[in-house]
Structure 1
């Protein structure tokens, strides 16, 4: 059984889900290893994502763990057997692993929900906006480092602009619509791009306006990616120490509630378009 030096977030998630099923069944890792006929070390590698696992072994574990959720089992099998090498592999060794993990998460997501506070969501950004943002945030980067990040961000848009586009809900704070990243003309083009994309049937844009009373729900940006089944959803949060992928059921439910509350406080899509148009006219 070959091992991986650097498992992706998706591979790590598969191992974590298998471990959750084992814990729910009340079995020790050594007992699970016996069921598969592998060593305790190999079992640990499977549950950490360092080693792969076959469809037969996933189904055998699920059966012995008394898991009867066929949709979840099929989703785990898909995670274990899919050998897709996506476009993001072009950036392996070029960009940090978190960039690739986010692209992989996008690729397999069934829907995306974003809360954006200070900056326009990445999936909406024009190349000029993204370039200005990366340059400002990383002034020490040489030009090619910035360009790699820009082209990667532009390619990520395939999930809302490509032939297999997924439903996308974006909640954007008014602050992000007024901070003129990239200058007046480029920012005017950025607002026009948001309006253009909001016309798509699978894209919904809602603005969180200034002036709301007793509102603290959009304290920081959030990405919520839907999995094949709800328990495989993922929340992505940026933190000082790096990008965090959140997948515990308790935390997922917390962020589902948070997204609903922020959505309820936001303007309707129609009124959001009006506000974006107003901001553009004021530039």
Structure 2
């Protein structure tokens, strides 16, 4: 298979998991290369995601590394093959790579948990809210760049619909409901849409109200995308410099705990809807 100069997030993750298996087996890259009859550069390129790897090769490597987790092995096998031509690929020369990786991560997630403090969850934003929010980006975006990002954001939301919509759990602070992005009409339309989406079977929205006091939070928007097995979960954090993806086991444990603690301070879905409705009516 030809080497890929720009591996996707999924290709990088497959390589990283194969590296973890090798390291748990106590093998160096040199020893692994000797075990499988390839040169060390091939192992390094596989582990960086730059060299595609077949399903048979993954099974052979898992066996050589004494991995006995059948669910994990099959999940890794499912990540092999040619680079997927997802809808996000049409934006590859237009948007930052991190945004494409985010769409790919969401596409393959079996479920998602999201926590936000001052922003609306991206997959629950209305078109008007998205466009209004992009007007204040620093540095300013050119009009056609705004439209590219608007269309990209709206296409991401497709995972919440269809025959097998992705389960989507949101924990948000009341502050995010009161930001008033885009003015009164846009803000009210956004809150009405949030209420409507929260009534979907696959969408769970819970609000942390003012007056709760101190609560556990990193201050960043957090997305935890569940993989087919917990070891393949991924956390994405928003930052001023783009998307940051985390998959180390200790990091996954930490952010699962953060989300659990935030959830414990939130209202029930029913009471959350009542609060959102009350704020919408006050606008």
Which TM-score applies when normalising by structure 2? Answer: 0.97
Distance in structure 2 (CA, Å) of the matches to 1:245 and 1:78: 20
| 1:96 corresponding residue in structure 2 | 96
| 2:221 corresponding residue in structure 1 | 221
Aligned residues: 283
Distance in structure 2 (CA, Å) of the matches to 1:215 and 1:141: 34
Q: By how many angstroms is 1:139 displaced?
A: 5.4
**After the TM superposition, which residues 123-272 of structure 1 pair with which residues of structure 2 at under 5 Å, given as runs?**
123-138=123-138, 140-217=140-217, 219-272=219-272
Q: By how many angstroms is 1:238 displaced?
A: 1.6
Q: By how many angstroms is 1:251 displaced?
A: 0.7
**Helix, strand or coil at the partner of 1:79:** coil
Measured on the aligned residues, the alpha-carbon RMSD in Å equals 1.2
Contact 1:117-1:176 at 8 Å conserved across structures: yes
| 1:39 corresponding residue in structure 2 | 39
Distance in structure 2 (CA, Å) of the matches to 1:55 and 1:201: 35
What whole-Å deviation, never above 9, does each CA across 1:132-158 have from its counterpart, x for those lacking one? 111211452111100100100000001
Q: By how many angstroms is 1:56 displaced?
A: 1.1
Q: By how many angstroms is 1:243 displaced?
A: 1.2
Which TM-score applies when normalising by structure 1? Answer: 0.97
| 1:277 corresponding residue in structure 2 | 277
Return 137-146 or 210-219, whichever deviates more: 210-219
Return 98-107 or 81-90, whichever deviates more: 81-90
What whole-Å deviation, never above 9, does each CA across 1:56-83 have from its counterpart, x for those lacking one? 1110110011101111001111111264
Q: 1:15 to 1:160 in 2, by over 3 A?
A: same
Contact 2:99-2:243 at 8 Å conserved across structures: no
Residue ranges of structure 1 left out of the alignment (5+ in a row): none
Residue ranges of structure 2 left out of the alignment (5+ in a row): none
